[in-house]
Amino acid sequence: MHPVCIGLGSNLGNSMELLLDSWAELGRIPGIRTSALSRPYLTEPVDMESEHWFINAAGLLTTTLAPEELLTHLLATEQRFGRRRGPEDHCHHRDRTLDLDLLLYGELVMATPRLVLPHPHMHQRLFVLAPLAELVPGQEIPGSGRSVRQWLQCLLARPDRPAIEVRAWPGDRAR
């Protein structure tokens, strides 16, 4: 079993329910065992214009699936929850019902046309690092020389950091 960290996000529909339901669905896929889900965070959109703020979380799971096979399941889950991708998604971020990002796959470092690990922008994104620090604060981001906690502290020290606010799951449905 390989330890994996994923990022979950949504800014359309009932985002909290979408994240909880998609997390539960991931746990039903053969070869995936969900372990822990962070608290949800309300975050302002980054690198895009939108009036819809995001709910973001991070999840820890273990898998017997290879990275690209796991990515296929993440993308299929997004689609089942209403995510529609178009050619413009490669250049521009836009509103979405569900976004599942493969952040870390153990200590693996790889780059293919379809998948780069660790996620190439995770160390620059407060909406990724804040929830991820709840789960694996001491985890070094492979190739960066810094832990999740250290990268988070760097971003929190910036005066121009995006807004972020911790929330609670509906009905206190802690995972």
DSSP string over 128-173: HHHHHHHH-TT-B-TTTSSBHHHHHHHHHT-TTPPPEEE---GGG-
Place of tokens 């509103």: 95
d(CA 33, CA 6) in angstroms, rounded, equals 13
Is 95 assigned a catalytic role? Answer: no
Is 96 assigned a catalytic role? Answer: yes
Looking at 33, 95, 99, 161, which residue is catalytic?
A: 99
Task: Identify which of 46-55, 82-91, 162-171 has the greatest average pLDDT.
Answer: 162-171
Looking at 39, 47, 101, 146, which residue is catalytic?
A: 101
Is 83 assigned a catalytic role? Answer: yes
pTM: 0.91
What's the pLDDT at 17? 96
d(CA 67, CA 71) in angstroms, rounded, equals 6
Q: Residues 12-26: pLDDT tens digits?
A: 999 999 999 999 999
What's the pLDDT at 44? 86
Give percent of the chain with pLDDT exceeding 90.
79
Output the CA angle 116-25-79, nearest 5 degrees.
60
Domains along the chain? 2-172 (3.30.70.560)
pLDDT band, very low/low/confident/very high, at 163 (cuts 50, 70, 90): confident
Whether the predicted pLDDT of 85 surpasses 80: no
Contacts of 31 by beta carbon, 8 Å cutoff, 6+ apart: 63, 64, 65, 69
